[in-house]
Amino acid sequence: MAATFPVAIPSQLRSYTAGAARVNVIAPSEAPRLRDVFAALDAAYPGIRFRILDEAGHVRPHIQVFVAMKVERDPAALLSPGDEVMIVGALSGG
């Protein structure tokens, strides 16, 4: 059974989503994991996953991911149907 997840996209990655700040993706799994959401994002918006995960499949250091308003850095984390995923990019300045 597939589940739909709302995903908040940071401004740094909106060029992949045609400017959309929020998208919905479907994770086609009975036990959806965060990595399934990233895969669905990449299927809909090619190239975006590489900006979130490194070559080893870990969340990049300058990216923070929240699931249901809690920090989640493990792509293998189980999700509940409808959990909101928020991706936040680091800001720099001085």
Domain boundaries, the chain: 3-89
Q: Which two tokens stand for residue 41?
A: 């994002």
pLDDT digits (tens, 9 = 90+) for 13-41: 999 999 999 999 999 878 899 999 999 99
pLDDT digits (tens, 9 = 90+) for 63-79: 999 999 999 999 999 99
- 3.30.70.60, 3.60.15.10, 3.20.20.150, 3.10.20.30: CATH of 3-89: 3.10.20.30
Q: Across the beta sheet with 70-71, what order do the strands follow?
A: 22-27, 3-8, 85-89, 63-67, 70-71
Q: What are the beta bridge partners of residue 24?
A: 6
